[in-house]
Amino acid sequence: MISSRLIVDRDFVISELDRRVFGTFVEHMGRCVYTGIYEPGHPTADERGFRRDVMELTRELGPTIVRYPGGNFLSGYNWEDGVGPKDKRPRRLDLAWYSTETNQFGTNEFMQWAQEVGVEPMFGVNLGTRGPDEARHFVEYCNHPYGTALSELRGEHGFAKPHDIKFWCLGNEMDGPWQICRKTAEEYGRTALETAKVMRMVDPTITLAACGSSTHDMPTYGEWEDTVLEHCFDQVDFISLHTYFENKHDSTEEFFGNIDVMDLFIKEIVAVADSVAARKHSQKRIMLSFDEWNVWYKARSIDDLRKPGWPEAPRLIEEVYNHEDALVNGGALITMMNNADRVKTACLAQLVNVIGPIMTEPGGPAWRQTIFYPFAHATRFAHGKVLRPVIDSPSYEAKTFPEIPYLCASVVDDEASGQTVIFALNRHLSEDMELKIELRSLGKDRSLVEAIELHHTNMKATNTKDAPNTVAPAKNANVKVEGESVVAKLKPGSWNVIVTKASDR
Ligand code: AHR
């Protein structure tokens, strides 16, 4: 057994949690849209073709915002193809994923689906093959009330009321050599600035995110953000970050180090953004949109990325997640919550089938992958202010990160309900952890509401169509609350949620 301590104080607040950090992502890629969220003819499909089983699981997962329509797909997308009568919509080659895009699902269908599952939309504009002109028209089509050709076209398509989409991404991963019409930082920074200007002229209430580096490992990492923000600092609110965790050393201990690298990544981008602010003598602070993150390394071969013959909705990157993947994702959620002062939106990429927490079979069932659970716990329980965690834990040395504490934790306190929630990972693989938590100034008459653990003795255990509940949360009976302190026993390699409530504050 190892021992760790976690101390928080009501007065030591990182920030109010922006619940838009619990976003996901729907891209026209593989089977995310077609046979994922949309499958007319499926036994559970509603009259619009939306799979009800997937909608139910999405509600249970609880994302707050969903990014759409891509991803790399975005850089070749004509938004006009996906609106209006379905029988008139063109079939197009999707150059990002070597697929045929039927355009049977588009902006208006996505907005109906988003409304039905209760999520905010986060849209992207194509800055690959297209530019400011299409972007301003897209905003006008979506958000302008009436009285212009495009707003009236939306009305003719059955949507008289504007969609009022607030959050817009200026392109996707524009530094990536794989991107359709990749740009240099100078080219992209200028384009992002001019696009942002015209989009805001159409609708000054929108929020805009510029593309950061595609990954932490890009050769131009850091320099890219600096140059891009040098151009568009005044016109954007967010810079994006993307990361896909890999188990490069085939070692769970090493894999866990990705969580600490994510924290470093966030802090480095904050430093770059603030250095641009300093150069400009500006007190404005650019916020971070971690709008693609997940584990992704098993289904990443060329065969996973493209299928011959321009198929419709092929099976692409259908990563099957295991228990250790769920733990890493839990750690990522903890990291983003602990950086709540700057990370204000984030999207687990993606939602269904394509590196998704939800899997489906065409005409068949839908089920929860292992990574579903930490995300669903965070969306359900994390409300209020994130408190600064003081962590006293033994640690280990690894190649991915020099010093990795076995305890990884975040504490979120909700003044309104009196609930203080602890999210914690025990990263030790063979020892239980005795965790002593001090919740200072948060009320002494405290009780335990719920204690949940996600644990499996096999780090490689997965949930599949035929065995969908192999990895599932259970009650942790080893948690005691006494006054301001909580003592818990956390199993080796486990994700834990401890919900406590004070009645005297
Ligand atoms: O999420 C899969 C792909 O990964 C996205 O299309 C792209 O933005 C990223 O490289």
Residues designated catalytic: 173, 292
Distance of CA 215 to the CA centre of its chain: 15
Residue whose CA lies nearest to ligand 1 atom number 7: 71
Domain identity same for 243 and 351: yes
Closest Cα to atom 2, ligand 1: which residue? 71
**Nearest CA residue ID for atom 9, ligand 1:** 71
What does the alpha-carbon distance between residue 172 and residue 169 come to, in Å, rounded to a whole number? 7
Supply the residue whose CA is at minimum distance from atom 6 of ligand 1.
71
The dihedral through the CA atoms of 348, 352, 357, 358 has a sign that is positive
pLDDT of amino acid 497: 98
Q: Are residues 334 and 421 in the same domain?
A: no
**Which of 339, 366, 381 finishes a domain?**
381
Cβ contact 390:7 at 8 Å: yes
Same domain, 282 and 346: yes
444-470 CB burial, b ≥16 within 10 A, e <16: eebeebbbbbbbbeebeebbeeeebee
User: Do residues 50 and 118 both lie within one domain?
Assistant: yes
Return the number of other C-beta atoms located less than 10 Å from residue 66's C-beta.
Answer: 24
Atom of ligand 1 at shortest range from CA of 72 = 6
What global pTM score does this model have? Answer: 0.97
**315 and 361 Cβ atoms separated by less than 8 Å:** no
Most informative mutation of 94, 242, 318 for ligand 1 (most atoms within 8 A of CB): 242
Q: How many angstroms is it from 7 CA to the middle of ligand 1?
A: 38
Residue 155's pLDDT is 98
Distances (CA, A) of 180 to 33, 192, 321: 21, 16, 29
Instruction: List C-alpha distances in Å: 66 to 119, 121, 165.
Output: 7, 5, 11
What letter does residue 389 receive in the DSSP assignment? P
Query: Could you tell me if 82 and 199 lie in one domain?
Result: yes
- Determine which residue's CA is closest to atom 4 belonging to ligand 1: 71
Contacts by 305-313, CB closer than 8 A, 24 or more apart: 305/97, 306/97, 306/98, 306/99, 307/98, 307/99, 308/98, 310/93, 310/98, 310/99, 310/100, 311/99, 311/100, 312/34, 312/99, 312/100, 312/102, 313/30, 313/31, 313/33, 313/34, 313/35, 313/99
CA distance 486 to 476: 13
Q: Which of 333, 365, 381 is the last residue of a domain?
A: 381
Per the CB < 8 A criterion, the answer to whether 344 and 351 are in contact is no
**Are 164 and 309 contained in the same domain?**
yes
CATH code, 66: 3.20.20.80
pLDDT of residue 505: 80
Q: Which residues line ligand 1 (CB under 6 A)?
A: 27, 29, 70-72, 172-173, 292, 349-350
In the β-sheet with 2-9, what is the strand arrangement from edge to edge? Answer: 390-392, 2-9, 433-440, 485-490, 479-482
Instruction: Report the C-alpha gap between 261 and 95 in whole angstroms.
Output: 32
> Judging by DSSP bridges, how do beta strands 474-475 and 446-455 pair with one another?
antiparallel
Which among 127, 215, 292, 347 is the best mutation to test ligand 1's pocket, defined by most ligand atoms within 8 Å of the CB? 292
Sign of CA dihedral 452, 457, 459, 460: negative
CB 324 within 8 A of CB 252: yes
Report the chain (505 residues): mean pLDDT per 10 consecutive residues. 98 98 98 98 98 98 98 98 98 98 98 98 98 98 98 98 98 98 98 98 98 97 98 98 96 98 98 98 98 97 96 98 98 98 98 98 98 98 98 98 98 96 98 98 95 98 98 98 96 98 89
Task: Give Cα separations from 142 to 345, 386, 398 (angstroms).
Answer: 21, 34, 49
Looking from the CA of residue 70, the nearest atom of ligand 1 is 6
- Two tokens, residue 440: 């200072």
Among 24, 170, 172, 290, name the best residue to mutate to test ligand 1's pocket (greatest count of ligand atoms within 8 A of Cβ): 172
| Ligand 1 center to 292 CA (angstroms) | 7
Same domain, 405 and 362: no
Say whether both 350 and 418 belong to one domain.
Answer: no
Question: Distance between CA atoms of 192 and 127, rounded to whole angstroms?
Answer: 8
pLDDT of residue 66: 98
Q: Which of 441, 449, 368, 377 is nearest to 410 (CA)?
A: 377
Q: How far is the CA of 179 from the centre of ligand 1 (A)?
A: 10
Please report, as a single letter, which amino acid is at residue 501.
K
Residue 482's domain is classified under what CATH number? 2.60.40.1180
Domain boundary among 381, 408, 434: 381
Does residue 456 share a domain with residue 329? no
Q: Which of the listed residues 24, 25, 27 should we mutate to test ligand 1's pocket, taking the one with most ligand atoms within 8 A of CB?
A: 27
pLDDT of residue 311: 98
Same domain, 262 and 403: no
Q: Looking at this protein, which amino acid is placed at residue 53? A: D
Report the pLDDT value the prediction gives residue 504, as an integer from 0 to 100: 85
- Kindly state whether residues 398 and 371 are assigned to the same domain: no
Q: Three-class SS of residue 429?
A: coil
- 3-state DSSP: the chain helix, strand, coil percent, rounded to 5? 30, 30, 45
Cβ 238 vs Cβ 225: under 8 Å: no
> 177 is in which domain, residue-wise?
18-381
Is the separation of the CB atoms in 237 and 207 below 8 Å? yes
233 plus 313 within the same structural domain:
yes
Task: Give the residue, by CA position, lying nearest to ligand 1 atom 8.
Answer: 71
Model pLDDT, residue 36: 98
Residues in the chain: 505
pLDDT of 450? 97
Q: Is the dihedral of CA 360, 366, 370, 376 positive or negative?
A: positive
Task: Retrieve residue 170's tokens.
Answer: 């200026």
As a whole number of angstroms, the distance between CA 75 and CA 193 comes to: 17
Residue 244 Cα: closest atom of ligand 1? 4
Lookup: tokens for 408: 């990884």
Q: Which two tokens stand for residue 29?
A: 């890629």
Cβ of 49: how many Cβ atoms within 10 Å? 18
Burial group, residue 397, by CB count within 10 angstroms (0-12, 13-18, 19+): exposed
Question: How many domains, the chain?
Answer: 2
Distance 72 CA to ligand 1 centre (A): 6
Ligand 1 nearest atom to the CA of residue 29, by list position: 6
Atom of ligand 1 nearest to the CA of 97: 6
Nearest partner of 332 among 395, 202, 241, 444, judged by Cα: 241
